């Protein structure tokens, strides 16, 4: 049997393979950028996120909505959602008329649903639908028993909210929460970042396929986070020295109070603490500080 190996050919093949792999990676990144920031509009390519069809602006005021909201359910196919507690009681939609959501309010349960469009504008094989903006204003002292937000394409921004239970499901978009208090939260993101600032969350379970998880000046008691690709950065407003921790990353670094650890960091609860942090990251760093 001939055991001779042409190492020059092997090296040449590896070089070509790496070049092709790099080109494909760059193409995917560029295509993703185009997907987020461009659209075919009436056959003309544009780098602006502009919408086709007739534009409309509709407002539902306190008289239209009836009883104060204690349960809010939102399901949007395309468009950004802004939810803020600022003393007003109003819902405003601004965007394509064909994407106008249906709003119903009964016995304090508000439901907003947007009909899924089968036709959207896009570039090549990437579908980039037209989008609008939905803004909800709630009273400052409002406490929601339940909040549910589901979106396909669009960002979600929540400010000054207090909720007993909150669930978020985002396919493509960022989730931002600021000055918000939640007893029990669940957030699933397929592609997008999850950012919290000045929040209090007793229990949070989050799963992110592609995106970063960031929490600044935020208090958790129980946190479970599962990331496939992205970094975790947490600056807690609470002292966590007694909390149980189980942190792991397959490809990345772990830092706890600026002290670098291995790919795993474990410590049991101390002094009867019920605080717990379970963070698993397949590809990315974990940085936890208090």
The Cα 253–Cα 262 span in angstroms is 7
3-class DSSP string for 66-122: CCCCCEEEEEEEECEEEEEECCCCEEEEEEEHHHCCEEEEECCEEEEECCCCCCCCE
The Cα 95–Cα 83 span in angstroms is 17
Take residue 48 and report the two structure tokens written for it.
Answer: 């602006």
pLDDT of 87: 87
Take residue 102 and report the two structure tokens written for it.
Answer: 């249906």
Residue 27 lies in a domain: no
Helices (H) and strands (E) in the chain, counts: 2, 27
Question: Which of 13-22, 170-179, 216-225 is predicted least confidently?
Answer: 13-22
245 SS3 class: strand
CB 235 within 8 A of CB 289: yes
Q: Read off the pLDDT band of 103 (50, 70, 90).
A: very high
Residue 37 lies in a domain: no
Give percent of the chain with pLDDT exceeding 70: 77
Residue 3 lies in a domain: no
Residue 23 lies in a domain: no
The Cα 7–Cα 1 span in angstroms is 18
Domains identified in the chain, total number:
1
Residue 169 lies in a domain: yes
Contact partners, residue 56, CB within 8 Å, separation at least 6: 93, 94, 95, 96, 97, 100
CB 234 within 8 A of CB 263: no
Spacing of C-alpha 3 from chain mean position: 54
Residue 48 lies in a domain: no
Range of the domain at 253: 72-87+135-289
- Each residue's pLDDT tens digit, 111-147: 999 976 544 444 444 444 557 899 999 988 889 999 9
pLDDT of 38: 43
Residue 24 lies in a domain: no
Query: What's the pTM value of the predicted model, to 2 decimals?
Result: 0.80
Which residues are bridge partners to 47 per DSSP? none
Contact partners, residue 132, CB within 8 Å, separation at least 6: 51, 78, 79, 80, 93, 94, 95, 96, 99, 100
Spacing of C-alpha 184 from chain mean position: 17
The Cα 184–Cα 165 span in angstroms is 5
Residue 142 lies in a domain: yes
Give percent of the chain with pLDDT exceeding 90: 68
């Amino acid at each position: 049997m001939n055991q001779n190996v042409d190492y020059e050919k092997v090296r040449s093949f590896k070089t070509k393979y790496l070049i092709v792999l790099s080109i494909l990676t760059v193409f995917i990144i560029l295509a993703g950028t185009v997907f987020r920031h461009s659209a075919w509009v009436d056959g003309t390519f544009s780098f602006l996120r502009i919408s086709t069809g007739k534009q409309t602006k509709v407002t539902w005021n306190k008289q239209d909505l009836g009883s104060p909201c204690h349960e809010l359910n939102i399901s949007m196919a395309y468009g950004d959602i802004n939810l803020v507690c600022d003393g007003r009681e109003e819902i405003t939609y601004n965007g394509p008329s064909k994407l106008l959501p249906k709003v119903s309010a009964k016995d304090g349960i508000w439901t907003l649903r947007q009909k899924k469009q089968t036709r959207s504008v896009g570039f090549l094989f990437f579908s980039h639908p037209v989008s609008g903006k939905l803004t909800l204003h709630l009273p400052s002292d409002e406490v929601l028993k339940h909040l549910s937000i589901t979106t396909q394409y669009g960002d979600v921004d929540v400010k000054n909210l207090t909720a007993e239970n909150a669930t978020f499901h985002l396919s493509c978009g960022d989730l931002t929460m600021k000055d918000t208090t939640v007893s029990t939260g669940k957030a699933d993101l397929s592609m997008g970042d999850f950012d919290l600032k000045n929040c209090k969350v007793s229990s949070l379970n989050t799963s992110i396929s592609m995106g970063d998880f960031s929490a600044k000046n935020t208090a958790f008691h129980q946190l479970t986070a599962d990331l496939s690709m992205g970094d975790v950065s947490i600056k807690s407003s609470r002292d966590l020295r007694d909390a149980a921790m189980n942190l792991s990353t397959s490809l990345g670094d772990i830092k706890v109070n600026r002290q670098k650890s291995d790919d795993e960091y474990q410590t049991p609860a101390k002094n009867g603490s019920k605080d717990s942090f379970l963070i698993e990251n397949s590809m990315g760093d974990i940085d936890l500080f208090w």
